[in-house]
Amino acid sequence: MSDSWLAQRTYAFDSSGIRKVFDLASQMKDPVNLSIGQPDFDVPEEVRAACVEAIESGKNGYALTQGMPVLREKLQADVDQQWGHADRRVFVCSGTSGGLVLAMLSLVNPGDEVIVFDPFFVMYEPLTKLVGGVPVSIDTHPDFRVDLDRVADAITDKTKMILVNSPANPTGVTMTKAELQGLAELAAKHDIALVSDEIYRQFCYDEPFVSPAQFNENAIVIDGFSKSHAMTGWRVGFVHGPSAVIETMIKLQQYSFVCAPQPAQWAAASALDLNLSGHIDEYRRKRDRLLAGLQNYYEVVQPGGAFYVYPKAPSGTGTEFVTRAIEKNLLIIPGSIFSHRDTHFRISYAASDETIDRGIEILQSLV
């Protein structure tokens, strides 16, 4: 096979650095793994039972592209009650990653600019490039707060989208109400699509969650069940926004992902009835446990949500520090995967207390 067979768009980015770390973990013997961004609790029993019931009762065929009524209508009712927008529709997608892909395909033309905030989720820049867009990165170091003046200065006549993620991966930082309102108003003023990745919305520890959709009726929200209900492998997400955008995303889903898995949609419908406060309290405690172990050793911004801490490497680059950590059998993620700076590293505290404590011990020894 010749390299000329491969489409030029595939050269715009490399394989995910996180996947490389996962591959490394599979080769290590009993690593102290604080790298994985998925909950360490299992899918709730009620959700597993609902999926088994769906499978056993024959709900195994293709789902409706827009989502099965059992889930979609429940989500629509929740969205209508929360927002009361005159034109806000919901559909079910194949995970939040599928939702991001469909949003990019639906909204971004070649040459359009997409504003992202550095550090950013690993998929944002590659997906922008995949559809021919141009990522415009706004640096938020060292405190990871959004400067609205810098956003306003970055907007040009080519700006098509602002992509926001709060609580954020990899920093765990939650944006303030003023920051989100300012972004929402800027997007409305300049007629720019505002896409809000809210996969960690349940994991807010210090303040109530705030969505930019509260301040912008045209905001497009991407959410799902992977983090809140540990359903990472079930691939059920959802998107809500203006009907014209949602209809276009559904049309594209027909010719790409087709649908989210039907049994998992019946399970997700039952998941909406669960109280998650116990898990949220547990993760708040894990955050505080990790921060207490790092506070006298590392420069770190306290995260308000998600399940990540993003410390600054005490010396050298973030990649060099992670290499030293791996030599001591600790798996963490270099910040260069999420940023144009190589100064930090990401720790996931979605792990047992024992694993967190072992990680703290190694991290303290590395200073």
Secondary structure of 310-325 in the HEC alphabet? CCECCCCCHHHHHHHH
pLDDT at 14: 73
How many CB atoms neighbour CB 254 within 10 A?
Answer: 11
CATH class of 59-271: alpha beta
Residues 335 and 342 sit within 8 Å (Cβ to Cβ): yes
How many CB atoms neighbour CB 201 within 10 A?
Answer: 20
Residues 363 and 325 sit within 8 Å (Cβ to Cβ): yes
Q: How confident is the model at residue 21 (pLDDT cuts 50, 70, 90)?
A: low
Q: How confident is the model at residue 159 (pLDDT cuts 50, 70, 90)?
A: very high
The whole-angstrom separation of Cα 19 and Cα 153 is: 35
Backbone φ and ψ for 113, nearest 5 degrees, come out as -100, 140
Residues 313 and 307 sit within 8 Å (Cβ to Cβ): no
Looking at residues 12-41, what average pLDDT do you find? 75
Domains 3-43+276-366 and 59-271 share a fold: no
- Report, at the CATH architecture level, how domain 3-43+276-366 is classified: Alpha-Beta Complex (3.90)
Q: How confident is the model at residue 28 (pLDDT cuts 50, 70, 90)?
A: confident
Looking at residues 295-320, what average pLDDT do you find? 96
> Is 70 exceeded by the pLDDT of residue 19?
no
pLDDT at 22: 62
Structure tokens of 263?
């049994």
Residues 243 and 87 sit within 8 Å (Cβ to Cβ): yes
pLDDT at 20: 65
pLDDT at 366: 96
pLDDT at 30: 82
Looking at residues 337-359, what average pLDDT do you find? 97
Considering the entire predicted model, what is its pTM? 0.93
pLDDT at 15: 65
Looking at residues 47-53, what average pLDDT do you find? 96
The single residue listed with the structure tokens 């940023």 is: 339
Task: Write down the mean pLDDT value for the chain.
Answer: 94
- What tens digit of pLDDT does each residue of 91-126 get? 999 999 999 999 999 999 999 999 999 999 999 999
What is the secondary structure of 246-273 as a DSSP string? HHHHHHHHHTTT----HHHHHHHHHHTT
Nearest to 224 by CA among 237, 239, 234, 211: 237
Looking at residues 255-262, what average pLDDT do you find? 96
Looking at residues 128-156, what average pLDDT do you find? 97
> Is 60 exceeded by the pLDDT of residue 89?
yes
pLDDT at 291: 98
**Coil/strand/helix, residue 276:** coil
- What tens digit of pLDDT does each residue of 32-49 get? 999 988 888 899 999 999
pLDDT at 241: 98
Q: In the chain, what are the domain boundaries?
A: 3-43+276-366, 59-271
> Is 90 exceeded by the pLDDT of residue 267?
yes
Single-letter residue type at 288: D
Provide CB contacts within 8 A for 179, sequence distance 6+: 145, 146, 148
**Residue 153: beta bridge partners?**
none
List the end-to-end C-alpha distance of the chain, in Å, as a whole number: 48
**Residue 333: beta bridge partners?**
346
How many CB atoms neighbour CB 17 within 10 A?
Answer: 15
> Is 60 exceeded by the pLDDT of residue 315?
yes
Most confident of 28-32, 230-234, 313-317: 313-317
What is the secondary structure of 182-228 as a DSSP string? HHHHHHHHHT-EEEEE-TTTT-BSSS----GGGT-TT-EEEEESTTT
Looking at residues 320-345, what average pLDDT do you find? 94
Looking at residues 290-304, what average pLDDT do you find? 97
Structure tokens of 13?
């980015």
Provide CB contacts within 8 A for 268, sequence distance 6+: 47, 71, 225, 229, 231, 234, 236
Looking at residues 63-74, what average pLDDT do you find? 97
pLDDT at 2: 65
